[in-house]
Amino acid sequence: MRLGCVRCGSAYPPDFKMFKCPRCGGLLDVVYDELEWSPRGRGVWRYEGMLPLKRREAVTIMEGGTPLVESTKYPNAYIKFEGANPTGSFKDRGMTVGVSVALKAGARAVIVASTGNTASSMSAYASRGRMAPIIVVPKGKIARGKLFQSFLHGAHVIEIDGYFDEALRLVMEHGVEAAYPLNSFNPWRLEGQKTIAFEIYEEVGCPDNVVVPVGNGGNIAAIWKGFKELAQLGLCRGTPRMIGVQAEGAAPLARAWELGVEEPLWVDDPNTVATAIRIGRPVNWPKTLRAVRESGGAFVTVSDGEILKAQAEMAQREGIGAEPAGAAAYAALRKVRLGGTTVAVVTGHALKDPDIVDIRTHYVDSADKFLRLLSTIIPGT
């Protein structure tokens, strides 16, 4: 096992505290001399032979093993429901590996910048691993369910003015000396997230398209790495096209893609109802663009209106409740014809952000009104 630089190609011995290339500052990837496909047990650690640690060293809450549900509306489409993880998002797959690595590295405290889900997840896993969770979040811009979870799991909550991107800069520049950082520039954490590809493979083989909402771009890169490793082992013949979804108001990568330019077009004031992907300067952009380009994929943008419509349709047609960022994947299914088998990765649970929709109710104060109401709901009664 080694760490490889995605920019200059330098290789280094595995180091749990190395987060960027000492030579050029590029992002790092975990590279294996030997991968072993021998699934056993449940969840993320079912793929122990493809991961950097052993199952017995893991801080785990039995994350992963999420439902893959066939769509009732779109033919040949499946929903991978990551909201079914222990804290309600795919971040748990990353944290079981990342927090285990932090513990091995001797950390006493763990730190993340977050739009919410990274914080919820890290707080749960760090607490279980008996390390102090410290979270840095943009004040007033994070969903209530996520803030509540972090607090419940014992996080030290630090709020800042500005956007997620400022919070991340603070952590990268001043936080990593004091505490172990678990944002998605940490290559060890992303190893856990690639298991989404392994689970999809075990159920439907290698699909033609995998649709993933993109914020910092770590998850889509991790899933692509998973499929490439399957291909390397001769398990997947064709690899899927990776389709990245961004919200119109926070689309630094999708805009660059449309214009055919090599680098993202930073967004200084990202805005969308999908707060989990409200990111203007995606830290993983070189890995993200590489994943989409290498896989023959594409980027798609969706508006807030389309996201909220998709959220309602998925809840009411499929029975799956997602937070807006998760619904963005379903919005892309509605918007573009991809052809072949498609898996939409629905990244987070509806309960994360209950304030995003107005709840409409009926009120009755007599049996009479109750019966009249029923007859309008169910005509002919």
Ligand X SMILES: *Cc1c(COP(=O)(O)O)cnc(C)c1O
Per CB under 6 A, residues contacting ligand X are 89, 91, 117, 184, 213-219, 276-277, 323, 325-326, 347-348
Q: Based on CB atoms, which residue is closest to Zn ion, 26 or 43?
A: 26
Distance CA 368, CA 377 (A): 14
Partner that binds at residue 323, options Zn ion, ligand X, none, CB closer than 5 to 8 Å by kind: ligand X
SS3 state at 160? strand
Amino acid at 339: G
183 binds, among Zn ion, ligand X, none (CB under 5 to 8 A by kind): none
Shortest-Cβ-distance residue relative to ligand X: 348
For residue 361, the minimal CB distance to ligand X (Å) is 27
Q: State the binding partner of 7 from Zn ion, ligand X, none, CB within 5 to 8 A by kind.
A: Zn ion
Nearer to Zn ion, 5 or 58 (CB): 5
325 binds, among ligand X, Zn ion, none (CB under 5 to 8 A by kind): ligand X
Q: H or E element: which one contains 2?
A: strand 2-5
Residue 21 near residue 5 (C-beta atoms within 8 A): yes
Asked if residue 101 lies in contact with residue 187, where contact means CB atoms within 8 angstroms, the answer is: no
Tokens describing residue 246: 């961004």
Q: What SS3 class is residue 71? A: coil
State the binding partner of 21 from Zn ion, ligand X, none, CB within 5 to 8 A by kind.
Answer: Zn ion
| Nearer residue to Zn ion within complex by CB, 123 or 284 | 284
Tell me which of Zn ion, ligand X, none is bound by residue 226, counting a contact when its beta carbon lies within the kind-specific cut-off of 5 to 8 angstroms. none
**Beta carbon of residue 22, minimum distance to Zn ion (angstroms, whole number):** 8
Report which DSSP code applies to 358.
Answer: P
Query: What, of Zn ion, ligand X, none, does residue 240 touch, CB below 5 to 8 Å by kind?
Result: none
Closer residue to Zn ion, CB minimum distance, 25 or 162: 25
Q: How wide is the angle at C-alpha 132 spanned by C-alphas 53 and 12, nearest 5°? A: 35
The three-state secondary structure class of 185 is: coil
Q: Which does 63 bind (CB under 5 to 8 A by kind): Zn ion, ligand X, none?
A: none
Residue 5 CB, shortest distance to Zn ion, in Å, is 3
Distance (Å, rounded) from C-alpha 36 to C-alpha 41?
Answer: 15
Q: Shortest gap between Cβ of 286 and Zn ion (angstroms)?
A: 11
8 binds, among Zn ion, ligand X, none (CB under 5 to 8 A by kind): Zn ion
Q: Return the structure tokens found at 317.
A: 């047609």
Got the DSSP string for 190-235? Answer: HHHHTHHHHHHHHHH-S-SEEEEE-SSSHHHHHHHHHHHHHHHTTS
Least separation in angstroms between residue 374's CB and ligand X is 37
Smaller CB separation from Zn ion, 146 or 287: 287
105 neighbors 180 (Cβ within 8 angstroms): yes
Q: Could you tell me which residues come within 8 angstroms of residue 113 by beta carbon, excluding any fewer than 6 positions away? A: 135, 136, 137, 164, 167, 168, 170, 171, 183
Closest distance of CB 278 from ligand X, Å: 10
- Between 14 and 39, CB nearer to Zn ion: 14
Min CB(283)–ligand X separation in Å: 9
Q: Torsions phi, psi of 15, nearest 5?
A: -145, 115
Nearer to ligand X, 26 or 83 (CB): 83
Enumerate the β-bridge partners of residue 27. 20
Footprint of Zn ion on this chain (CB under 5 A)? 5, 7-8, 10, 21, 23-24, 26
Q: How far is the CB of 246 from ligand X (least distance, A)?
A: 9
Nearer to Zn ion, 29 or 159 (CB): 29
Residue 211 CB partners (closer than 8 Å, separation 6+): 243, 245, 300, 329, 332, 333, 338, 342, 343, 344, 345
Of residues 2 and 255, the one with the C-beta less far from ligand X: 255
How far apart are the C-alpha atoms of 119 and 112, rounded to whole Å? 7
Q: Could you tell me the smallest distance in angstroms from the CB atom of residue 152 to ligand X?
A: 17
**Which tokens hold the place of 16?**
């749990």
